[in-house]
Structure 1
Amino acid sequence: MGEDGSVTSAPQRPDGPTPTPRLIATDLDGTLLRDDKSVSLRTVAALAAAEEAGIEVFFVTGRPARWMDVVSDHVHGHGLAICANGAAVVDLHAGREFVQVRSLPRATALTVVETLRAAAPGTSFAVEMTTGINYEPLYPPFFQDPGAHVATAEKLLEEEADDTAAPVLKLLAHHAELAPDEFLALARSAAGAYASITRSSPTALLEISGLGVSKASTLELCCAERGISPAEVVAFGDMPNDVEMLRWAGASYAMGNAHPDVIAAASGRTVANNEDGVAVVIERILAERAAHQG
């Protein structure tokens, strides 16, 4: 679920365009958060300064709503966060209430399970719903979710499959032997016609959402509601689940610890998450804005 990335030893100087944005969209794990999952004092100050300057900040993450405690105190104004790779918009000011849900149809999820079992034998699954996560016996358990129900994906998806059933936010697929990028490529080839497939973990753990659902597409919807164009957005990320968002935004930054696909997608580069790479860019944007206004 988390977007962990390895940290490079030599930091890069942030580069790329720094327009005067109306919205900053940032990933969390491996991006805004340090590796110990903390938000540094420098980053807290930068986020507050951006909001003070009238720039909205959106946290856009693969995390489920229940794992947003790490940044809940740092959501200002609107209070919204985009969770589960775009499958949910959550109001962190209102007890993590779901404002919008873009679910993965259960029938589609069952098709993906069947397809991946055939294409990559040994794959185990978890099902993330609005009510929490449940997973198969062979799936690596989440220490954050000790109360999860354990059953086959087929059983989890078919149970209560009616109008009262909790929406499925995403399907997770884990493989103990395949390399992460190899597993992603295989899954997209086999099941990419049915759903959006990405990854954010350093392990072979895939995240599967409804077709067309991504951080980028949900961020685009949120921006459209506010009359904000892509050119007015600055985005930050480090893993493949950030790629579409970084391509969509007018200016985007790959972290110093980013996956190669992220570096290729972004228009700029900043230093690693442990070196406050997001804060570095925000500080520069605000300094340039102040100089221009002065």
Structure 2
Amino acid sequence: MKDIKMVVTDMDGTLLNSNHEVSTKFFDLFKHLKKQDIQFVAASGRPYYSIVKKLQTIESDIIIVAENGGLVIKNEQTLLSNVLNPNRVKELYALVTKIDNTYPIFCTKHKAYIYRASEELVKTFSEYYSAYTIVDNLEEITDDIIKIALYHQTNSEAHIFPHVKHLKPKLNVVVSGNHWVDISEAITNKGKALTFLQKELGVKPSETMVFGDFNNDLEMLKCAEYSYAMANAHPDVKAVANFETDTNDNNGVELVLEQLIAESSKH
């Protein structure tokens, strides 16, 4: 572990506990990572502004990979941005607005456009998408769309994924949580974003540590020798990761970071 130069962690189900909070322990450990010149990257399906909200106090010292790799931002400067082809958006809009009991959210850099959801659902969505506008049609969306997030109240893998999986491999279609399926350009995933950062910063996979819990983390776990699945992770994630740590509610990320800091400080 002593050679680690970059730590990358997913947010929901990984760094965040079940109440969507970052532990104070993590912020203490972060100070040590910074002291040891280890770059920290938050990589999430969440939008940029939502990740910033969770990590506000350290925002200027970290890199943020938002929207499953659709956006990479450091110090408010966009290093990478992949938007959905506008012609394709029309077809996708027609498809996703017709799936039963499914609520589409059209994600752009600065806000989300929520399609016809109830007040109760909007409340649920606002945990992730705090900046939003409710829309009734596609014409109301004027910004470039990075990702379409689809929400199902019981199970996204069973009830949404079968309706959209045919879009692969032309598009990246991924089950990103119990309730979520995300659609973005084929070149968009957390792994591509991480490979881009490794090249930019001159960091090898053997110098990279990654944590994840769901299928939108698979590609980035493959980019690191020190890849960790959370104990609460999807079986696919456990199959790909080289190591496992405790659950997100038992500070699984922090447990490994403590080991990393102990190893690094010996050198």
* Fold shared, TM-score > 0.5 on shorter chain: yes
Residue identity in the other structure for 1:151: D
Question: Is residue 2:104 matched to residue 1:129?
Answer: no
Equivalent residue number for residue 31 of structure 1? 14
Residue identity in the other structure for 1:49: H
Question: Is residue 2:235 matched to residue 1:260?
Answer: yes
Contact 2:107 2:148 in 1 (8 A): yes
Equivalent residue number for residue 5 of structure 1? none
Equivalent residue number for residue 191 of structure 1? 167
Q: 1:185 to 1:173 in 2, by over 3 A?
A: closer
Q: 1:38 to 1:113 in 2, by over 3 A?
A: same
Question: Is residue 2:51 matched to residue 1:74?
Answer: no
Distance 2:232 2:224 in 1: 20
Q: Which runs of 4+ in 1 moved over 6 A?
A: none
Larger Rg: 1
Contact 2:212 2:228 in 1 (8 A): yes
Question: Is residue 2:148 matched to residue 1:171?
Answer: yes
Residue identity in the other structure for 1:237: G
Query: Which is further off, 100-109 or 221-230?
Result: 100-109
SS, match of residue 133 in structure 2? coil
Q: 1:227 to 1:268 in 2, by over 3 A?
A: same
Query: Which is further off, 274-283 or 192-201?
Result: 192-201
Question: Is residue 2:77 matched to residue 1:100?
Answer: no
SS, match of residue 148 in structure 1? strand
Distance 2:160 2:189 in 1: 15
Q: TM-score, normalised by structure 1?
A: 0.79
Q: TM-score, normalised by structure 2?
A: 0.86
Contact 1:174 1:206 in 2 (8 A): yes
Q: Which runs of 5+ in 2 are unaligned?
A: none
Deviation, structure 1 residue 187: 4.4
Distance 2:254 2:60 in 1: 16
Please provide the CA RMSD for this pair: 2.4
Distance 1:175 1:110 in 2: 21
Task: Write out per-residue CA displacement over residues 21-80 of structure 1, whole angstroms, 9 at most, x where no aligned residue.
Answer: 110001112111222222222211222211211211111111112212111213453x42
Deviation, structure 1 residue 147: 4.9
Question: Is residue 2:84 matched to residue 1:109?
Answer: no
Deviation, structure 1 residue 146: 7.0
SS, match of residue 134 in structure 2? coil
Question: Is residue 2:221 matched to residue 1:221?
Answer: no
Distance 1:89 1:128 in 2: 15
Equivalent residue number for residue 210 of structure 1? 185
Distance 2:90 2:201 in 1: 36
Question: Is residue 2:35 matched to residue 1:52?
Answer: yes
Distance 1:85 1:187 in 2: 20
Distance 1:181 1:207 in 2: 11
Residue identity in the other structure for 2:188: V
Deviation, structure 1 residue 114: 3.9
Equivalences, count: 260
